[in-house]
Amino acid sequence: MSVLNVYNPIDLEIDHGDGVYVYSEDGTRYLDFTSGIGVLSLGYSHPALVAALKDQAEKIWHCSNLFKINKQKIVAEKIAKHSFADSIFFCNSGAEATETSIKVARKFHHDLGFKNKNKIITFQGAFHGRTLASLYAANNESHIKGFGPKVDGFINVPFADHEALHNAIDDSVAAIMVETILGEGGIKVIPKECLLGLRKICDERNILLILDEVQCGIGRTGKFFAFEWSKIEPDIVPIAKGIGGGFPLGACLLNKKVSKCMTVGTHGSTFGGNPLAMSVANVVLDHILKKDFLEHVQKVGDYLKKKLEEEILKSFPSLIEEVRGKGLMLGIKSKISNEIIIEQMRNEKILTVKASDNIIRLLPPLILQNSHVDEAIEKIKKALSRI
């Protein structure tokens, strides 16, 4: 086989998609609760996204950052207008966005003369991507094995261990980096009071707060950013996935204080913010930032969670332990292997994603309607009844 064997795809080839459904080559229709791992925010083949991409494809695909790309400014201004961000760096993936965050945090303190203030506190169970630095940031044994030498500069503390966090803080700490909701780690929502606590420690100790919203940002929880639920403002936020609606795009959002340290030549990307990506992101943002859109995500997310609790958790106590998450980023904690349940769900033509902690992750497109929720619940019931 010529494709490097780093994935283990299921034996299902998706031929095309439409709204919240995908179709295999033989025409079988699946209700998609994966969104390509939280990416297809507006669903499949959204006419406005297809039109934007086609239109741009006929003008220019790529020119690099040697030249001005007007749509970068438009997209950056839209994000900034609705967030804490002062400046935005565009890249192509989540890992590049978290890598940028790490670089910025170090450079910020370096430029202030604190050359040894360069460590980043991270949490066990986190996922920040597959570049060397983001791998060692998360410190997941199975991901880093064989890839040494270790990338230095991270202090990985147990998740939710307040004492360990406090003990790890000294004058060498540049930033604390955490996902506002752990995705791969098993849909773990950081409570509002903990986010407030993190912000407070960071302010007191001159530490930057990096909230990784690659998976939970861009409307997924029913707010533009998941941290908005706690009303705090981070300093640096890497995003990706949903912002491109399926087109590869990442970005790193910086507040005014930190953005100043990133001057000409300090960072860059050949493809970052290319005209195709910007055209699509521009339309994604127009939809997500429409007055009613985020309210819709909250409502349909609440409806899905309630149905899961009332009709799945209660009816299958020997199989299901818990339903958790926010908006349309939900997790079902399974009492048996999550893979068995995911396979049975697939047999019922509903697609879901696994996550750590025996979680079945539900990440449907944000355009999901209540009728799709009802359809999903029936499929999940049938799948669980067969186990």
Report the interface residues with ligand PLP, using CB under 6 A.
Answer: 37, 93-95, 98, 127-129, 179, 183-184, 212, 214-215, 240
Closer to ligand PLP by Cβ: residue 110 or 267:
267
Least separation, in Å, of the C-beta of 369 and ligand PLP?
26
Least separation, in Å, of the C-beta of 97 and ligand PLP?
7
Asked if 145 and 151 touch (Cβ cutoff 8 Å), the reply is: no
What is the bridge-based pairing of β-strands 29-32 and 350-351? parallel
Closer to ligand PLP by Cβ: residue 96 or 348:
96
Closer to ligand PLP by Cβ: residue 278 or 312:
278
Nearest-CA neighbor of 250 among 33, 54, 29, 100?
A: 100
Closer to ligand PLP by Cβ: residue 83 or 98:
98
Closer to ligand PLP by Cβ: residue 128 or 307:
128
Asked if 177 and 102 touch (Cβ cutoff 8 Å), the reply is: yes
Report the residue number whose CB is nearest to ligand PLP: 94
Closer to ligand PLP by Cβ: residue 276 or 373:
276
State the DSSP code for 385.
Answer: H
Least separation, in Å, of the C-beta of 33 and ligand PLP?
16
Please identify which residue in the block is written with the tokens 């295999």: 24
The whole-angstrom separation of Cα 299 and Cα 132 is: 39
Least separation, in Å, of the C-beta of 248 and ligand PLP?
8
> Does the N-terminal peptide bond of residue 149 adopt cis geometry, omega within 30 degrees of 0?
yes
The whole-angstrom separation of Cα 215 and Cα 227 is: 12
For residue 159, what are the contacts with CB-CB under 8 A and spacing of at least 6? 123, 124, 125, 126, 182, 185, 188
What is the bridge-based pairing of β-strands 173-179 and 208-212? parallel
Asked if 176 and 161 touch (Cβ cutoff 8 Å), the reply is: no
The whole-angstrom separation of Cα 27 and Cα 181 is: 35
Least separation, in Å, of the C-beta of 142 and ligand PLP?
15
Least separation, in Å, of the C-beta of 95 and ligand PLP?
3
Least separation, in Å, of the C-beta of 98 and ligand PLP?
5
Closer to ligand PLP by Cβ: residue 186 or 222:
186
